[in-house]
Amino acid sequence: MTAEIRQTVNRSVLIVGASRGLGEAIVEEYVARGAHAVGTVRGETATPLHEFAARAGDSVEIEQVDIDHPDQIDSLAARLAGRQFDLLFVVAGISLAPMEDIAVQISTQDFSRMMVTNALGVMRAVEALHGLVSPTGTIAVMSSGQGSISDNTQAGFEVYRATKSALNQLMRSYAVRHAEDARAILLMAPGWVKTTLGGPQARLEISDSIPPLVDTVDAQRGIPGLQYLDRNGATIPW
Ligand SMILES: NC(=O)c1ccc[n+]([C@@H]2O[C@H](COP(=O)([O-])OP(=O)(O)OC[C@H]3O[C@@H](n4cnc5c(N)ncnc54)[C@H](OP(=O)(O)O)[C@@H]3O)[C@@H](O)[C@H]2O)c1
Q: What proportions of the chain, in percent to the nearest 5, are helix, strand and coil?
A: 40, 20, 40
209 C-beta closer than 6 A to ligand 1: no
For residue range 90-123, list pLDDT tens digits in order: 999 999 988 788 899 999 999 999 999 999 999 9
What is the predicted pLDDT for the residue at 3?
57
Q: Is residue 2 part of a domain?
A: no
CA of 28 to the centre of ligand 1 (A): 16
d(CA 79, CA 223): 29
**pLDDT-derived band at 34, boundaries 50, 70, 90:** very high
d(CA 190, CA 108): 28
Q: Is residue 3 part of a domain?
A: no
What is the predicted pLDDT for the residue at 58?
96
The sheet carrying 12-16 orders its strands as 60-64, 36-41, 12-16, 85-90, 133-142, 184-189, 225-230
Q: Is residue 86 part of a domain?
A: yes
In one letter, which amino acid is 212?
P
CATH of the domain at 86: 3.40.50.720
Q: Is residue 69 part of a domain?
A: yes
Hey, which bits of the chain come out as E strands?
Answer: 12-16, 36-41, 60-64, 85-90, 133-142, 184-189, 225-230
For residue range 7-28, list pLDDT tens digits in order: 999 999 999 999 999 999 999 9
69 C-beta closer than 6 A to ligand 1: no
Taking every pair of Cα atoms in the chain, the longest distance, rounded to a whole number of angstroms, is 47
More confident residue, 98 or 29: 29
Domain holding 67, by residue range, is 12-230
What is the predicted pLDDT for the residue at 120?
98
105 C-beta closer than 6 A to ligand 1: no
What is the predicted pLDDT for the residue at 28?
98
Ligand 1 pocket test target in 42, 126, 217 with most atoms within 8 Å of CB = 42
- As a whole number, mean pLDDT of residues 143-161 equals 96
Q: How many domains does the chain have?
A: 1
Ligand 1 pocket test target in 24, 28, 44, 91 with most atoms within 8 Å of CB = 91
What is the predicted pLDDT for the residue at 2?
47
Q: Is residue 17 part of a domain?
A: yes
For residue range 127-136, list pLDDT tens digits in order: 999 999 999 9
**pLDDT-derived band at 83, boundaries 50, 70, 90:** very high
Q: Is residue 177 part of a domain?
A: yes
121 C-beta closer than 6 A to ligand 1: yes
Q: Is residue 34 part of a domain?
A: yes
Rg (Cα) of the chain, in Å, rounded? 17
For residue range 160-185, list pLDDT tens digits in order: 999 999 999 999 999 999 999 999 99
50 C-beta closer than 6 A to ligand 1: no
Find the angle CA(107)-CA(110)-CA(63) to the nearest 5 degrees: 175
pTM beyond cutoff 0.75: yes
Average pLDDT score, the chain: 96
d(CA 88, CA 78): 16
CA of 146 to the centre of ligand 1 (A): 15
What is the predicted pLDDT for the residue at 208?
98
